[in-house]
Structure 1
Amino acid sequence: MTSTEPPTTNPDLSTARRITDALEPKNWLLVITLAIGWHADRWTGIAWGLIAGVFSAVLPILWIKWGGRRGYWGDRHIRRRQDRLVVIPGIMVSVLSGIALMLIFDAPSEVLALVVAMMASLIVFMAITAFWKISFHTAVPAGAIAVATLAFGSLTLLACPFIIVVGWSRVVLKNHTLAQVVAGAVAGAGVAAVVFSLLR
């Protein structure tokens, strides 16, 4: 006899997927580039923040979607570690292009420092990804919050629970282990804070 009961669903999995999608790295990058742009030079800084967001978030996600549509890797979360070794260099090219543009046209130092911090993080994470699947989903918000704290003050640390929520979602979806999400958060915050502090 065929069961007529509806298929069971796991509410944790559904919630985790929504959190992973809503708080993906691209969204954090767009927010922090605009925020630092405003802090650096108000409306002129916002324009530079938009440019930084294009090279650090928009172009990389277009690159990821382009490869995904052609079957080169999976969805925009790039679950397989080996695929990340192909995706990350493409992102690095975009970020380096943004840095070059900012240097040529004399972007505000804080915006430039932010994007250089992103590049430094990519270099570190590329090296780690060669042998271990560290979490970008926790690294990016941790780095963004670290930079925001340096720019705006300790009140921005109130956003730290978002890192925990994102980490939880990645573990529940079995995309990362607890060690990988914790390492991502620590490395992301550490690299971003050091580089941004030195260059701002």
Structure 2
Amino acid sequence: MPTVVDPSTRSASYRLARTSTEVFAPAVFAALLPVVVAVHSTAPALAVGLGWGALAVLFCSVIPYGIIWWGVRRGQLTDHHIGVRAQRRRPLLHGLVSVLVGLALLVLLGAPRPLVALVVAMFAIVAAIGAVNQVWKLSAHAAICAASVAALGYLFGPALTPLLALIGLVGWSRVRLGAHTVGQVIAGTLLGPLVGAPIFILLG
């Protein structure tokens, strides 16, 4: 079981872990990565890329995480990271439906192929996380972070190798906060790229 950390802790390491967990949360990657991929795919037409990216972000980040925040406000979820495994099924299903609707729109409207590939990969990763979380609390933070770093590395090459440090930082933060065990973080770190990378590369 994850180690329970007293929320009143005010050590520097705890504050760093809390900040890292929020700044590099799945919602952040889901909001930034589609824009980066869309702009990269449509360069030098920046406005076109931003438009496609905004459409993808609406269905891959804004709507799914809006549903989560609404659940927190209504008291149906304990927190926006959905720390209680039993509470994850419904938000994940709603998120998958939203991503699927967004994917259909992107395909029908003729979105850039790499962006469509990214959204398919995101759908597959979230589906895999949801399946595992029915029986075990795998780290979604680690999975999304690792998959996002892998996608950026594929697009921009070795220049972004330093981003690998983010995977370690995010994994450490989840363990430090008592949200996951080391094993759950490692499993998430492996699942994200293993599920997402082949899809992104083959379809993109």
Q: TM-score range by the shorter chain?
A: over 0.9
C-alpha distance in 1 between matches for 2:162 and 2:15: 26
> 2:75 aligned with 1:74, yes or no?
no
Counterpart amino acid of residue 41 in structure 1? T
Equivalent pairs counted in the alignment come to 194
Instruction: Give the alignment of 1:34-183 within 5 angstroms.
Output: 34-42=35-43, 43=46, 44-183=48-187
Deviation at 1:45, TM superposition (A): 2.2
Q: Can you give the 5+ residue segments of structure 1 that lack an aligned partner in the other structure?
A: 1-6
Q: What is the rounded CA distance, in whole Å, between the counterparts of 2:105 and 2:161 in structure 1? A: 31
Query: Which stretch has the larger CA shift, 153-162 or 164-173?
Result: 153-162
Between the aligned partners of 2:10 and 2:56, the Cα distance in structure 1 is: 40
Which runs of structure 1 show a deviation greater than 6 angstroms over 4 or more consecutive aligned residues? none
- Where do 5+ consecutive residues of structure 2 fail to align? 1-7
Q: Note the alpha carbon deviations across 1:88-133, whole angstroms, 9 max, x for none.
A: 0011011001001011101110000000000011121111111011
In structure 2, the CA distance between the partners of 1:150 and 1:179, relative to structure 1 (3 Å rule), is same
Shift of 1:12: 2.3
CA distance in 2, matches of 1:39, 1:190: 23
Whole-angstrom CA distance in 1 between matches of 2:180 and 2:41:
35
Q: Which has the higher contact order (CA 8 A, sep 6+)?
A: 2
Tell me what 2:201 maps to. Answer: 197
CA RMSD of aligned residues (A): 1.4
Q: Specify the structure having the higher radius of gyration (Cα).
A: 1
Shift of 1:8: 7.0
1:20 alignment partner AA: T
CA distance in 1, matches of 2:193, 2:120: 14
Structure 1 partner of 2:11: 10
Q: Which moved more, 1:90-99 or 1:150-159?
A: 150-159
Seq. identity, %: 36
